Structure 1
Amino acid sequence: MKLVKTILLSSLSVLSFSFVKAQQAFDKQGHRGGRGLMPENTLSSMKKAVDLGVTLEMDISFTKEKLPVVSHDQYINPAFSLKPNGDSITKQEATSLRMYDMPYSDIRGYDVGSKFYPLFPQQQKIKEHIPVLAELIDSVEAYAKQKGAKPPHYNIETKLRPESDNTEHPAPQEFVDLLMAVLVKKNVLARTIIQSFDPRTLEIIHKQYPKVPTAFLVVNKKSLKENLSSLSFKPTIYSPDFKMLNKQVVDDCHALGIKVLPWTVNKPEDIASVKALGVDGIISDYPDRL
């Protein structure tokens, strides 16, 4: 791990310049790759995001071997997943399918792309697996190169809560170490934002990797000042539920030098109204609408 951190620190000197330059334009982001269009957090959704030229937004969970996998859920989600034999998963069965208790060889067998998902009826159906983060990065980097597209940008959420430390995921320090090791090895750190609802991982990132951009995710009724008081530093990005936003919040963030990236904005009328507030980007299940 010391070697990883040494390599990381040697690369940080270029981060601030490359990130600022790349992020000057309005930042369109495909939520979980763009789950309104393709199965969420899969190779196909991320490749679709590459096709659209948007940032690849995703979540990280962990396997029994402590491999970072791209998944919003710590359990196999029965709403859109099928067993390896093609059968549906009951809610009761899903409670025993915690990924932190499962080897990746078992997790990979579940199909997370073929089942009809009522929340996104237009989503293209294709057999997909839950990918390891390293696999996903390799796949989309190669795809972008093949297509002659610009190297993709990533917005990666550390998915954790204090009450589930060491039961559903590693504790914050180990979570960050395991995640950053992959990003350093794959040489994508200069194109990556780390986002979280959990201040603990953001504090670690800020302390150990101060030039890596951070996004503070929030969904509550607190004021901007109250939310920012949860951190000991100013995040690069304030990323609230779009329903929390108004012009004053956006202006106050900008006055502090903080960018505003709301989620998850899907309806055309909401996209238009949020853009009118002067936000710096939008996370959407339908990035083609941005």
Structure 2
Amino acid sequence: MAQMPFIQGHRGFRGLYPENTLPAFEHALEAGVQVLEMDVCISADGKVVVSHEPYMNSLYSSKPDGKPVEKEEEKIFNLYQMTYREIKKFDTGKRGNASFPEQIKMEAHKPLLSEVLSLGEAFRKKHQRIIYYNIEIKSVEAEYGISQPKTVEEFSEMVWKVIKKHVKPEFIILQSFDFQVLKYWNKAMNDGKIAPKVMLSALVSRKSPENTIKDLGFTPAIYSPNYQAVTQDFVEFSHKSGMKVVPWTANEANIISLLSDMGVDAVITDYPNRVPHYLKSVH
């Protein structure tokens, strides 16, 4: 990604559409977004499911009978213990999301990664536009074997199997907060197990770029911190080290403008519609 599109649609277009659903990704593309950001988990039958949590979020999920998922029920609906057929019966859009009052209420469900990639590739072919996919492997060490596969190798290989069937690797960004995941992908690429190489993005909250490189043991293609942690020094150090800077999740146009002035390479946002003049720009 020599010239990175500036705006990445967070979980598709969460500000206006149910997050991590086909309508959200479709509307993001129609709005001009060229990088779709999403999260993936694994179902009991080994399907790669697009979902931010490995369970049903009570903020917006409804059970097959239409009743809301209660907070105390969330972990009962562990995606890793449910088949995809069971997962698909839960609605994730009809109730909307109180945290995003502009979000349109509509019927939706957690899709498969294969469906999202197919949607993006069909759009790319129809409109002759380059589309990138920023895929986060939702992995937490304490959850190995509980709400996700026992090893990051198994998890990663399941995701890679889907990716390589649908998209050329050069259009893939693979991100994670779990550095064990990134270390595995880096080794797999160096060993030729994953080729050509995907871009690896280190997700952090406030960890400096210097410590990110130190803790990883290699320099990732992208340093991706919470936008509130971004400083001019962080941007300059990252660029000198060979990393692009992609903060998350900035939702106000003035904040995105400030980040642009600092020299970040792209921004992950829930509201790409608030910054239309950035959609086709490259930094």
**TM-score w.r.t. structure 1 length?**
0.88
Matching residue of 1:46: 25
Matching residue of 1:135: 115
Q: Secondary structure at the match of 1:80?
A: coil
- Give a deviation string over 1:216-256, Cα, whole Å, max 9, x none: 00013x43322221111100000000111111110111111
In 1, are the aligned partners of 2:11 and 2:37 still within 8 Å (CA)?
Answer: yes
Task: State the identity %.
Answer: 37
The runs of 5 or more residues in structure 2 that have no matched partner are: 191-196, 276-283
Match of 1:230 among 185, 192, 215: 215
* Paired residue type of 1:42: T
Distance 2:247 2:53 in 1: 21
- Give a deviation string over 1:101-139, Cα, whole Å, max 9, x none: 011111000110111311111111210110111122223
TM-superposed deviation, 1:149: 4.6
Aligned length: 267
The runs of 5 or more residues in structure 1 that have no matched partner are: 1-18
Matching residue of 1:34: 13
Distance 1:120 1:230 in 2: 35
Distance 1:174 1:102 in 2: 18
Distance 2:219 2:227 in 1: 20
In 2, are the aligned partners of 1:206 and 1:212 still within 8 Å (CA)?
Answer: no
Q: Secondary structure at the match of 1:288?
A: helix
Matching residue of 1:7: none
Do residues 218 (structure 1) and 218 (structure 2) align?
A: no
Q: Secondary structure at the match of 1:209?
A: helix
Distance 1:199 1:180 in 2: 17
Q: Secondary structure at the match of 1:89?
A: coil
Q: Secondary structure at the match of 1:229?
A: helix
Q: Secondary structure at the match of 1:58?
A: strand
In 1, are the aligned partners of 2:56 and 2:77 still within 8 Å (CA)?
Answer: yes
Matching residue of 1:68: 48
Distance 2:271 2:167 in 1: 28
Match of 1:177 among 157, 162, 173: 157
Alignment of 1:111-130 (within 5 A): 111-130=91-110
Which 4+ runs in 1 deviate beyond 6 A? none
* Paired residue type of 1:30: G
Match of 2:146 among 167, 192, 200: 167
**TM-score w.r.t. structure 2 length?**
0.90
- Give a deviation string over 1:2-41, Cα, whole Å, max 9, x none: xxxxxxxxxxxxxxxxx33xxx144310000020011100
Matching residue of 1:9: none
TM-superposed deviation, 1:215: 0.5
Matching residue of 1:256: 241
Distance 1:113 1:200 in 2: 33
In 2, are the aligned partners of 1:57 and 1:155 still within 8 Å (CA)?
Answer: yes
Do residues 108 (structure 1) and 98 (structure 2) align?
A: no
Q: What is the alpha-carbon root mean square deviation over aligned residues?
A: 1.4
In 2, are the aligned partners of 1:63 and 1:102 still within 8 Å (CA)?
Answer: yes
Distance 1:25 1:182 in 2: 24
Q: In the superposition, relative to structure 1, how do residues 86 and 149 fare at CA in structure 2: closer, same or farther (>3 Å)? A: farther
Match of 1:271 among 246, 256, 265: 256
In 2, are the aligned partners of 1:141 and 1:151 still within 8 Å (CA)?
Answer: no
Distance 2:259 2:152 in 1: 33
